[in-house]
Chain A
Amino acid sequence: MDLQQFLPLSLDRINVWIGVLCTLAIYSLLYRENPLYRFFEHMYIGLAAGYSLGPLGVDILYRYWITPIWVQGQWAWAFLVPFGMYLYFIYSERYGWVSRLVIGALVGTSAGLFFQEFASRYVVQLHSTLSRPLWMSSANPEADLFGVITNWVFIIILVSVLVYFTFSYPQKGVVKNVATAGRWFLMIGLGAIFGNTVMARMALLIGRIYYLLSDWLMIRI
């Protein structure tokens, strides 16, 4: 390894060394809680929040608010931000009702949008579920044995989990058994999600170790 290239003597290398310092400081928590970790944790949060102000100013406020007002003369846009800022009246006991104007507008918009979202998101899934072939016949020429078995497994799991979450009647006898099966299926599903979570966290750790080896120590991987 060339020492001249390794040391922080150029802007690129200074960046890498700062990255290494941040990485090691954050991972120092694994050894024990310490002030260095706390400092870098707060710095990271502050940097992330501060950084987002830049794109917010350039891509949103300048593009969608300042340009229409100052360049295109669409002065009515000037009322938009003050209207949004009415939300902060929520901290005032006397004028708290003003904030409800904004909240009302936001809730109304969200509720309206949700109708479309529900239809596009869930109705398609319901249709997909209800149109699964459960046996092989001339009416379903595309259905193969494996597909039919998979569809039965899907339907059994769907019904069991729905029964588990149905509390309108006492869960006794057969219903209780089906609900118990539903709980087991849920546990398997949650286990799969947790397994994926472990994989994601490992990938993030590997990414940082790769950075230390490849970018800092300049080892060719």
Chain B
Amino acid sequence: MQTRGPSIWERMLSIDRRILYLLLFANIVLFLLLPIRMRAAVSPPVQKFYDEIEKLQPGDLVMISSNWSASTLAENQPQLEAVIRHLMRKKAKFTLISVEAQSRDISYRLASRLTPEGGYEYGRDWAHFGFVTNLIVSIKGMVNNLPDTIKKDVRGTPVSELPLLKGITSLRQYKMIIDVTPSATVPFWISYAPKETKILYCPTSVMAAEAYTFLDSGQIKGMITGAKGAQEYEQLLGIVGLGTRFVNAISFSHVLIILFIFLGNLALFMNRRQMRQEG
């Protein structure tokens, strides 16, 4: 008796996952190389983020909490680059602080590379406070006495001697805090930072869904979600950064994944149906 070969649905269900990886890889390469850039509809949290920075006056001081490392570079780097460029456009001064050891050097190098574009000078227009291990204690310390808590910047200069921080004794004198992070650090800023200081948030996409409660209650004033959010922000700024370069690949890799899910489910149901018909 001749046995029936596997049906197309059975073949689809037993497809080697490495073929799917290869298709995904080819799809990403193709859409990265595609010279056309898609435009995005700017989401309300990104628009709010942009509007808040637009309200800054020249000379206003902003704290950037940069807590990402190499593992989330693709999401957090475009965010931080776009934010620094916008701050420089508004002539706002900023200081960076990291609760993640790797981020200390990554964010310092990134800011050192970008700031000459805006004519910014270290110590006068921006500074890096280095690495802190306990964010809660650091925030509370900076609220009470910033120079005594931070002591020295990443270059070993006492922060009280930096022209940028002349007359600055507390975090209360900052206009804004921007948290660029893949970790759950924003609740600490919300809880312990001065209430009059606005908080903006740049999470990775994974963290974004949980932050909508903070956005809804007004505890954070705006949010850039991952690389996709960075692309929307770059669009508002009229620049082409990493977010814009990634957007085609991000969008079409999702289309491909949705297609895989659809075909997988279709194969499953059709296979079940075929087996029922065959008894």
Contact = CB atoms under 8 A, between A and B. Distances in A.
Given A30-B21, A206-B253, A207-B74, A55 B187 contact: no
Contacts of A208: 74
A54 B254 CA distance: 39
A208 B69 CA distance: 14
B36 interface: no
Contacts of A197: 205-206
A125 interface: yes
B75 A200 contact: yes
B71 interface: yes
Given A64-B151, A199-B205, A128 B101 contact: no
Interface string A55-94: 1101110011001000000000000000000000000000
Contacts of B18: 30-31
A26 to B, nearest CB: 11
B102 A202 contact: no
Interface in B203-223: 204-206, 208-210, 213-214, 216-219
A136 B101 CA distance: 51
Contacts of B190: 120-121
Nearest to B105: A55
B142 interface: no
A206 B250 contact: yes
A192 B212 CA distance: 12
Interface residues on A, range: 35 or more
A117 interface: yes
B205 A213 contact: no
A209 B225 contact: no
29 contacts: A51-B101, A52-B102, A56-B101, A59-B104, A59-B131, A63-B130, A64-B151, A113-B136, A120-B192, A121-B187, A121-B191, A124-B219, A125-B217, A128-B216, A128-B217, A193-B209, A199-B205, A200-B206, A202-B253, A203-B227, A203-B250, A204-B71, A205-B24, A205-B28, A206-B32, A209-B25, A209-B28, A209-B29, A213-B33
B93 interface: no
B205 A60 contact: no
A168 interface: no
Contacts of A31: 18
B228 interface: yes
A206 B74 contact: yes
B191 A206 contact: no
B29 A213 contact: yes
Contacts of B123: none
B73 interface: yes
Contacts of A210: 32, 74, 242, 245-246
Nearest to B225: A196
A149 interface: no
A96 interface: no
Interface string B68-104: 0101111100000000000000000000000001101
Interface in A23-65: 30-31, 48, 51-52, 54-56, 58-60, 63-64
A196 B209 CA distance: 7
B152 interface: yes
B2 interface: no
Contacts of B28: 205-206, 209
